[in-house]
Structure 1
Amino acid sequence: MNIYAIGDLHLSNAQPKAMDIFGEHWINHFEKISSDWNARVKKGDVVLIPGDISWAMKLEDARPDLDAICALPGTKLLLKGNHDYWWSSMTQINALLTNDTYIVQNNSIAIGDFVFCGTRGWMFPQDNSFSENDRKIYEREKMRLRMSLDSAKKDEGKRKIVMMHFPPVYETIQDTEFNAILQEYGVEEVVFGHLHGEILKNICLTDLKIGSVNYNLTSADYLHFKLKQII
């Protein structure tokens, strides 16, 4: 079984959004992703999508985007990003998902020798714009990460892989509370996204290892719209 990851798909099939406003490399970006995906992913493989899946505001408008993902090969695991405003209840989303496609939200999913967990995450208290409201979200996201990892205890002995949307660490900020939780639970790999554009010129988060955890930035544009093989 191969495990791949790619985040920040930013699909908009219901109400097409011109992605070239973010740069010409975004033109036909999902065609590039799909081509690479179809060429590499086989039945039994897993693809992790850590957030910012669709620009839709309502679940009904996200359906064409979810259908496009469901149609791709492999087992697909989806996580909520900060732009996934369409994300509603697990029951409502699961009713639309087909072809081995699932969501990770306060739970864990065991496949083969691995168990997959995750939460969206949030900005760090070190950020200059961090507010009291951000503190509430930050604390809630720490709780949700623990909840997901606690769920994985029923699958003791399996290797833990975590999805987050926001970076749980930076090159310059490694001693974070998210990192402490991930180390505590013995997580092996973490995939995340959220970072785009000019900021990508000033960072290098590929294969960043802190303690026992490997951190993988998997924003679609950072990966040049090709899946990253994690395992």
Structure 2
Amino acid sequence: MRVFAIADIHLSKAFPKPMNIFGPEWDGHPEAVFEEWRKTVGEDDLVIVAGDISWAMKLPEALLDLADLALLPGTKVLLRGNHDYWWPSISRLRQVLPPRMHALQHDSLVIGNLAIAGSRGWDTPGSYNFTPEDEKIYKREVERLALSLKTIQGHDYEYLILAMHYPPYGPTGGPTGFTELIDQYQPTCVVYGHLHGADPERLPKSWNGVPLHFVSADVVRFKPQLILETPHQTHVVNVADS
């Protein structure tokens, strides 16, 4: 099984929103997302969609975008981003997800010898205009990531992917509560998005030896990025339900 990742696909079928108002790097969106996905991903592959999936404000609107994603090849693992206002309680979301689509929230997935844990993340101390409210959300997100990682304890896996929407490091590349968890659990790699217009060559490529994969859709030109290849396994266990 090949594992891919992409973030910030910003679909908006219910209320079309031209993304090229944010810059020419968005030209061709959203059709380019679907085209590159079909060219890259196979039916036996898995794709982590690391947040900012849909501009929808309500779940019924977002389901139009999720239905389009469901038609694409591969198994999908969804993570909430800061613009996913449509995301309801996780139990409600899982009741309506299309087949071969999974959502992470405070828990993890084990797929064969692969474990996937993650959380949205947030701005970290030292960020521009960081407020006391940001501090509360940041601490809550660190705890949520810790909860997700704790759920994999006692399960057999060979590879661990840590998925976030926000970058795990601080605004100058320094340590945070998220990087402390990376140091503690030593995942195989970390995937994240959220940043737009950033030069990937100027961003950290690893954290204490753990590879960091920056996969915002506009930066990777809408092509899901190959993160990992594992022996093919299809049995999926949601650890919160096991």
Please give the alpha-carbon distance, in whole angstroms, between the structure 2 residues aligned to 1:47 and 1:175. Answer: 28
- Corresponding residue to 1:216 among 193, 213, 216: 213
The 5-angstrom pairing of residues 181-220 of structure 1 reads: 181-197=181-197, 200-201=198-199, 204-205=202-203, 208-220=205-217
Please give the alpha-carbon distance, in whole angstroms, between the structure 1 residues aligned to 2:157 and 2:223. Answer: 31
Question: Which position in structure 1 is the counterpart of 2:38?
Answer: 38
Question: Which position in structure 2 is the counterpart of 1:167?
Answer: 167
Distance change (3 Å), C-alpha of 1:128 and 1:15: closer
Question: Which position in structure 1 is the counterpart of 2:51?
Answer: 51
Deviations along 1:7-40, one digit per CA (max 9) or x if unpaired, are 0010100011121201233233222121121122
Question: Which position in structure 1 is the counterpart of 2:76?
Answer: 76
What amino acid is aligned across from residue 32 of structure 1 in structure 2?
A: A
Please give the alpha-carbon distance, in whole angstroms, between the structure 1 residues aligned to 2:138 and 2:61. Answer: 29
Distance change (3 Å), C-alpha of 1:82 and 1:224: same
- 1:35 is paired with a residue whose SS is helix
- Give 1:86 deviation, angstroms: 0.4
- Give 1:95 deviation, angstroms: 2.3
Please give the alpha-carbon distance, in whole angstroms, between the structure 2 residues aligned to 1:212 and 1:203. Answer: 17
RMSD over aligned Cα, in angstroms?
1.7
Is the 1:166–1:194 Cα contact (8 Å) retained in structure 2?
Answer: yes
Is the 2:11–2:55 Cα contact (8 Å) retained in structure 1?
Answer: yes
What amino acid is aligned across from residue 162 of structure 2 in structure 1?
A: V
Please give the alpha-carbon distance, in whole angstroms, between the structure 2 residues aligned to 1:21 and 1:220. Answer: 15
4+ runs of 1 displaced by more than 6 Å?
none
What amino acid is aligned across from residue 225 of structure 1 in structure 2?
A: F
Deviations along 1:137-178, one digit per CA (max 9) or x if unpaired, are 111111101100001113234311011111111583232221
Please give the alpha-carbon distance, in whole angstroms, between the structure 1 residues aligned to 2:44 and 2:90. Answer: 24
Instruction: Tell me the matched-pair count.
Output: 228
Is the 2:115–2:157 Cα contact (8 Å) retained in structure 1?
Answer: no
Question: Which position in structure 2 is the counterpart of 1:152?
Answer: 152
Distance change (3 Å), C-alpha of 1:41 and 1:128: closer
Question: Percent of aligned pairs with the same residue?
Answer: 41
Is the 2:114–2:159 Cα contact (8 Å) retained in structure 1?
Answer: yes
Deviations along 1:88-118, one digit per CA (max 9) or x if unpaired, are 0112212221231000100110112210000
Please give the alpha-carbon distance, in whole angstroms, between the structure 2 residues aligned to 1:172 and 1:138. Answer: 17
Q: Which runs of 5+ in 2 are unaligned?
A: 229-242
Is the 2:124–2:170 Cα contact (8 Å) retained in structure 1?
Answer: no
Question: Structure 2 length as normaliser, TM-score?
Answer: 0.89
- 1:230 is paired with a residue whose SS is strand
Deviations along 1:166-212, one digit per CA (max 9) or x if unpaired, are 11115832322211111101211111110113xx1485337x11213
Is the 1:57–1:85 Cα contact (8 Å) retained in structure 2?
Answer: yes
Is the 2:183–2:208 Cα contact (8 Å) retained in structure 1?
Answer: yes
Please give the alpha-carbon distance, in whole angstroms, between the structure 1 residues aligned to 2:151 and 2:209. Answer: 21
- 2:179 is paired with a residue whose SS is helix
Question: Structure 1 length as normaliser, TM-score?
Answer: 0.93
Is the 1:193–1:217 Cα contact (8 Å) retained in structure 2?
Answer: yes
Please give the alpha-carbon distance, in whole angstroms, between the structure 2 residues aligned to 1:118 and 1:95. Answer: 20
Please give the alpha-carbon distance, in whole angstroms, between the structure 1 residues aligned to 2:208 and 2:136. Answer: 27
